[in-house]
A = this chain, B = another copy of it.
Amino acid sequence: MNEQIKIAQFGLGPIGLESLKLAATKPWASIVGGVDLDPAKVGKDLGALAGVEALRGLPVCATVEDLLGRAQLDVVLHTTVSKFKDAFVQLEPLARRGVSVVSTCEQLIFPQLKERELAAKLDKMCQESGARIVGAGVNPGFVMDVLPLCLTGVSRQVRHIRIERVVNASTRRGPLQKKIGSGLPSGEFRRLFEAGHLGHAGLKESLALIAHSLGWSLEEITETGEAVLAERDIRTRFVEVKRGLTCGLHQHAEGKVKGQTVLVLDLKMYLEAPNPRDVIQIEGDPPLTVALEGGVAGDSATVGSLVNTARRIRQAPPGLRLPTELALPFWA
């Protein structure tokens, strides 16, 4: 790396701050500032907020326009929202100015699924300005999409892919323990899940990314979500769940071609889940079964993915990019 990449952090919540701290340790990166919508953070010293001496004197701005008025900028690490529609208004000014973005926005893993027109619009802006925008993360972004696709790189034939992820939510952050419905009666879980207010965002996007990449035209994508009920009282640092109430979820998506199920993504995230793991099974030639013991730890890996991708993004052609269109991001 001959030249340092000028990086700003957009979104200064827990994941954003961890990403910022990691990026600050990289010899190829130079941090220029932060952006957050929270008035309590705007105007603060970024180094003080992050607890990183080397970032002292850098601004926390309310908008990217404000930051762009003060500093040159190559890549933004974006960690604010899950929906592409909500991210769009934050990404647009960056795309217009040729600033590249790596984002944890779950729908950005395959934004064409829910927002085809908005995706085309953002892509066009990027092509005109020279910006690259891409989603990253561990799930979606790796375990249930990019890693299985990477494995098919040695396949002569692929007939069916099944991916199973089991997360012991007791080991995760408070917001995740709440996002999976912990403590809710099962009826309330169902209501909120169906309204899209809880559950894992991005399962359908992972499935759609795999299908798109392999050239499979799915005639149907189905997704279901069920509450997992506590078999005994559970207490974590963040939540308390009485026996019989929701302690997490079982989310499941399938894709069909010509009436045959060819893609199965099965995700269980609940408190005290035994034997956490990621398992990828590819039916084809050669058959491949890959198991990640213990599973890939969500938060650490998301931060890693975001920063590692930032290093590689400018080698991709300008545009709104899929994670599979980048040169392999690896740690460095």
Contact = CB atoms under 8 A, between A and B. Distances in A.
Contacts of A297: 286
Contacts of A302: 154
B156 A330 contact: no
A294 interface: yes
A142 to B, nearest CB: 5
A328 B150 contact: yes
A150 B330 contact: yes
Contacts of A309: 153
Chief secondary structure at chain A's binding surface: mixed
A52 interface: no
A90 interface: no
Contact of A327 (B154, B157, B305, B324): B324
A147 B305 CA distance: 15
A288 B151 CA distance: 16
A48 interface: no
Interface residues on A, range: 35 or more
A39 interface: no
Scoring A154, A287, A309, A327 by chain B CB atoms within 10 A of each residue's CB, the highest score goes to A154
Q: Which of A149, A294, A297, A331 has the most CB of B within 10 A?
A: A331
Contact of A149 (B158, B294, B328): B328
A156 B304 CA distance: 4
Q: What 7 A-B pairs come out closest when comparing CB atoms?
A: A154-B301, A152-B331, A286-B297, A155-B331, A156-B304, A149-B330, A153-B329
